[in-house]
A and B are shown apart, each in its own frame.
Chain A
Amino acid sequence: MMDDQKRAQFKKVLREIKNLPTLPGIVAKLGKMAENPDTTTEQMGRVISKDHILASKLLKLVNSAFYGFPQRISSLNSAIILLGFNVIKSLIISASIFEVMESQDVELWEHSLGCAVVCNVLARHLGVKDPEEISTAGLIHDIGKVAIKMELPKEYQMITELSQEKQISRLEAEQEILGLDHAEVGSWLAKSWNLPNKLVEPIACHHNPQLAKEEQLASAIVHFANIMIRGLGYGHAGDIWVPPLNNKAWKLLGLAPADIDPLLQEIEEKLWDVKGFSLDIQSNPEGAA
């Protein structure tokens, strides 16, 4: 059938992605840090862990065959320790940036970073062993959207139009136009980069956490974090609607109404940090060339 053929072709194009671009402001900031001899690897790491594209690149690198840890490293801190300053510096020099930056790129970045913050707050609240890993999963959960935008610009435009015209979610529009969606695309990418299942499953299942086989709790946290950050309206993920909550995931989280206010309080507080960082990197994007 034509549709299957098309789907296979989209798959091929998306799998061959080399370099996803990111915000010039972040790359400029990191470039400046790398020039300063007093900058520590940890300081660079803190900035990289605020960017969904650079964070995925770092994880891809540390889990690649050359470095020798395939499917093992799910934490950004560990990735930074294992790669070291010089490799991180080269990674920044080789990072590509958006040639034409659109507000939707910034907004998706804000949504991703916001989701990571909510994941962290939820994971700590639930007493999860390694909250940082879950934040990382939250940070890169929408990486498939960036891939679709970069590799299939025409279809991306069609998805946007269809979603507006029919008033359907971006996810539904993606399925209609491509026969696949950003969660699936993101999970292929994560898999092809040898990322551990701890990250692959939450990306794959962030809209359908009931499908997670091994990482049910992590998937449920990213699922609900995505809902919360959309509910709070920080950043923008392609459509305005809060996506539906999966009942099984909700039960797994075991949150009570009394938990909601303290969680919101903590998230709102932490979002001020994110807003400050966002303003900082957007006020100075010209430095990147």
Chain B
Amino acid sequence: MSRILIAGDDSLIVPECRLLLDAKGYTLKHCGNLHDALSQVLEDPPDLLVTEKGFSGKNGDVELIRAVKACLQKANIPIFLVVDETQLQVELDWDNYPVDDILTRPFTPEVLLTRIRLAESRMARAFDNNPLSRLPGNTSIIRAIQRVLGEPDGYAVCYVDIDNFKPYNDRYGFSRGDEVILMVARVMVNVVDELARKGSFVGHIGGDDFVFIVREEMVEPVCKKILANFDLVRNMFLSAEDIAVGEFVGRDRQDRETRFGLLSLSIAAVTTGGGKYTHYGEVSSVASQLKHCVKKMDGSNYLIDRRDT
């Protein structure tokens, strides 16, 4: 964590603080109004955000905090809110201020540095995010599945993978493969976010394997939209020649020359309603059987398992 965005009045971070943070290798960027701060968060998000109560007039602080926390890929950026002690006499609605820490004025440079260091180590402990997609990794995925298994409402645990990803990598190179993984991550996150935000989860198992969880009644529309959006964006990641031919030639695992279809997605969804599973391992084994079927189908597809036992 090295880039810190200071969104507030000029006096928010006093020169002594600046000097110390500078010396410790942090880069500080200051924005004095909501406009600039939002542009910064959008275009080049920082590793940590420090803002103050009442920033940039009416609701500016809330707007800024929301813009960070509402975006799944930025939600783990720690936010510090600087307040006056008198402002704490009226208790803040912390649901409205989803910040990670507060600082009361005045604070010494050492206190600020310590809080930053603490936030860094907390991040390292709490998050197992995938370094490429910045989505939560396996520990979080297992925890999320266990959580919905214990809930009375039905959820769908959906396993997603990219068809023909290995031959794509061989043909276009690893960095292009990484772009496709990022693209799938964003398509999923945005659809889940827009259609089924409440109680949902998106995680990255690794490589081209992902998991998302939505409420059971939303699983069909979410799967449909993910596949439709994927198919719309996909051509940006393929060469004009391959699109024209509709397939490409590569080598399979036995190094034989084989024709591969263009990139597509497969989703295997397992519903959890009625307490039919107690352990995440059961869910993933049903999913892998299902995946076997869906992978045999041409193009992008999803299958939903609604078995009763």
B49 to nearest A CB, angstroms?
13
B195 to nearest A CB, angstroms?
9
Query: Which one of B43, B183, B240 contacts A66 once the chains associate, using CB atoms below 8 Å?
Result: B43
B115 CB within 8 Å of chain A: no
Task: Give the distance in Å from the alpha carbon of A93 to the alpha carbon of B66 in the complex.
Answer: 12
Task: Give the distance in Å from the alpha carbon of A67 to the alpha carbon of B44 in the complex.
Answer: 9
Q: Which of A74-82, A110-118, A141-149, A247-255 binds B?
A: A74-82
A196 to nearest B CB, angstroms?
8
Binary per-residue interface labels of chain B (167-180) against chain A in the complex, 1 for a CB within 8 Å, 0 otherwise: 00000000000110
A284 CB within 8 Å of chain B: no
Binary per-residue interface labels of chain A (59-91) against chain B in the complex, 1 for a CB within 8 Å, 0 otherwise: 011001111110011110110011111110111
A157 CB within 8 Å of chain B: no
The answer to whether A69 and B182 touch across the interface, beta carbons within 8 angstroms, is yes
Query: Which one of A18, A84, A93, A96 contacts B63 once the chains associate, using CB atoms below 8 Å?
Result: A93
The answer to whether B190 and A85 touch across the interface, beta carbons within 8 angstroms, is yes
A154 CB within 8 Å of chain B: no
B35 to chain A: which residues have CB within 8 Å?
19, 94, 96
Q: Which of B138-146, B209-217, B229-237 binds A?
A: B229-237
Residue count of chain B within 8 Å CB distance of chain A: 31
Query: Which one of B45, B187, B194, B236 contacts A85 once the chains associate, using CB atoms below 8 Å?
Result: B194
The answer to whether B42 and A72 touch across the interface, beta carbons within 8 angstroms, is no
Task: Give the distance in Å from the alpha carbon of A130 to the alpha carbon of B243 in the complex.
Answer: 12
Query: Which one of A60, A72, A84, A85 contacts B179 once the chains associate, using CB atoms below 8 Å?
Result: A72
B14 CB within 8 Å of chain A: no
Query: Which one of B63, B70, B186 contacts A82 once the chains associate, using CB atoms below 8 Å?
Result: B186
> Which B residues contact A (CB, under 8 angstroms)?
34-35, 38-39, 41-45, 63, 67, 70-71, 178-179, 182-183, 186-187, 189-190, 193-194, 229, 232-233, 235-237, 240, 243
- Given known contacts A91-B42, A94-B38, what 19 new A-B pairs fall within 8 Å (CB)? A67-B186, A72-B179, A72-B237, A78-B232, A81-B190, A81-B232, A82-B187, A83-B190, A84-B189, A85-B190, A86-B71, A90-B41, A93-B34, A93-B38, A93-B63, A93-B67, A94-B35, A94-B42, A129-B243
